[in-house]
Structure 1
Amino acid sequence: MHLASIPSPSQGVWHLGPFPLRAYALMIIIGVVIAVWLGEKRWTAKGGSPGTVVDVAVWAVPFGLVGGRLYHVVTDYQMYFGEGRDPLDAFKVWNGGLGIWGAVAFGALGAWIGCRKLNVRLAPFADAVAPGIALAQAIGRWGNWWNQELYGKPTDLPWAVEIDYAHRPKDAYGAVLPQYETVGTYHPTFLYESLWCLALAIVVIWAGGRFNLNHGRSFALYVAGYTLGRGWIEALRIDPAHEFLGLRLNDYTALVVFLGAVAYLYLNRGKARVPEPLTLRPETDETDAVVEPDGEAGADPAKGSEETEETSPAPAPESDAKPEPAETDAAAEDEPATEPEGTEPEQAEPEHVEPEHVEPGSETAEEAPAAEEAPEPASEPEPVPASEPAPVPVAETQDVPAEESGAEDVPGPAEPKDGDGPAVKTAKGEA
């Protein structure tokens, strides 16, 4: 034991009655919660709908756990299958053993299914959750510290981690290997990876905003950065693993994934200014049809407006006031009324207005309106020349004086002016 070292916990399980609370599982849960929280903030900042990350996580997290466990069991099958091994131990996830490669691959599959169900594109969604995944890994790695597993080579550095005798490397029969019987401190590879993932999350957030890493490039940067760090961290570990040409299997996996991520970044290097939709298809299937005033949709706006101008009659002016008659015939001739071609103006129905009293013989008697509307004659009478005005029957006017007839407001014919013709007396006089 060194004076400066990281002690390991004495236990990683607490029993709450019949229910065990395992620190390894607790670290994973905390990591998932933080990843969802950060991913939700980044997704809504992109313009996505709130709650989308939570809904997709319902698919991605279970798929990720299954994939991580499968990768670990397949690559370390000697721990679960063979002489003296219990295959049922492969299902004991709480004892540790989740391969990050399988977790990310199967988690991406689950995220794809969730995105399809929510009409969300996977690339922008992956960009939003990439830093959160790195943070989840940074927290989840402390589960290895609670279980005293996945540490590195022996070292006497001040930050070395202490490993109990029961958790030191063993052979196939469960006995501690002779070279580690007296060595108590080792490289804390869990701490190295945790700090690396924490720094990676910060870099992805910064680079994504600085260089507008959209279209899945932020996620590709996370993958490339993680595999780059995993390469040198994997070289420090001494836990049993398959090796080829002096490299562990995880080193080859990290190399292949790193090259793929770098290739993706290079091939999509010019998409910084390309708009990126968040959904697979429009939110609704309704088209932006043009609705005309008559309620018809889908018509051509230009053509529809021309047809409306040509075929629709001009609306009649709505007015409650009675149109005033022209003052003189000359003024009416000077200002003739104009009407649009092809249209018949609608006459507004005049309201009943008491006719203005006009003395018989006045000049405006002919222009005053009649008190009652006379029925239109079947045939239009012949016009009387101005020089020979029609005589007024004397008998009718003498028998019924205008003052006693009850139609005081009905004017008689006006006397012609001097020079217009022979003088004609009104109903009170003689012709």
Structure 2
Amino acid sequence: MFDLKWIRDNPAAFDQGRARRGLAPLSAQVLELDQKRRAAQTRFQESQARRNDLSRQIGQVKAKGGDASAVMAEVAALKDGIAAAEAEDQALGAELDALLAAQPNLPAGDVPDGADESFNRVERTVGNVKNFAFKPKQHFELGEELGLMDFEGAAKLSGARFVVLKGALARLERALALFMLDLHTTESGYTEMAPPFLVRDAALYGTGQLPKFEEDLFKTEQGLYLIPTSEVPLTNLAADEIIDEDKLPWRFTALTPCFRSEAGAAGKDTRGMIRQHQFMKVELVSIAHPDHSEAEHQRMTGSAEKVLQKLGLPYRVICLSTGDMGFAAQKTYDIEVWLPGQGAYREISSCSNCGEFQARRMKARCRKPGEKGTRFVHTLNGSGVAVGRALIAVMENYQQEDGSIAIPEALRPYMQGREKIARE
């Protein structure tokens, strides 16, 4: 959501930010609605003031024994005008709110301009891509040959874009999740949380999934939504709060299932675990002081990178272009892990600074202790990392010629010391 006063004062900057995202100018439409609404508010306030003044006059006239019928008639005539002005104010306010709620955040100044992912900027590449003495396989080939990855069984239960993991692969997925949680809580200072997996629509509005992206969500008959990411409940813990500045930042991490309809992903990654309706993810969320969010963004991205470094997985960090960023983000770093079976880097984490965009929607603020004035906090979120994609990366990067999978040293304590997964 946007500050209307800022748009009034900076209409050209608002439209310029939208242009960088490939969007048409909107300030004229916003300001016209705003002007009409403020005019309705003025009429309402002036009519109320006149009615109050006349009501006092009625009392004065009657106290002197005079005839107040003319004044009473004017008060009655004002009633319909007051109701009409109030209704117009509410209708214009709802129209303005709906218009702005559907608009994405404006990009930060250092985000590369461009229409799509081809304009993304590589920030750094870390680790060496392994040269295999054999043709590396993709994760689903490895998993099915091991007898530990069952897509057909999952399809029988739930349809396409689901998987059943068995035995050592199910254990490896759990090991990855526990490893990430331990790393983030012990080395990166995040507090582990266990949030609900079902949320109200207000929570999804606060983080920007609603109203624009409802088709990507699963909604229950009771009106609750399955979370697409634990960013939603974790970030909304700050909703309607006024937080003392010296208590910031809040840093949360959580392991949850995530549920996405993948409505716009027809034909993409139809084989394997890359893009599924249900997957596990370790999320990172920060509620930061507005002056410190850029430093917090770098810190969060580094925390996600640390997972891949300790697993010995080669990756690169990408700054997304204005045309590739998500709806609520003002700046995003994607971390892409190397998958030798695909011969390509694929996203495994996305770390975004949303500035005050979500905080305005959630009414999440901070203030200095002892002072009355408040400021909107800045919110940040990132994958720390997607567990299923980490499983894919470990399988493909640690595969052996005989089809077995070596287990990275960092995960062996979580695998009862086991060093590899082989067909039994």
Question: TM-score, normalising length from structure 2?
Answer: 0.21
Which of structures 1 and 2 has the bigger CA Rg? 1
Larger relative contact order, structure 1 or 2 (CA cutoff 8 Å, min sep 6): 2
Question: TM-score, normalising length from structure 1?
Answer: 0.21
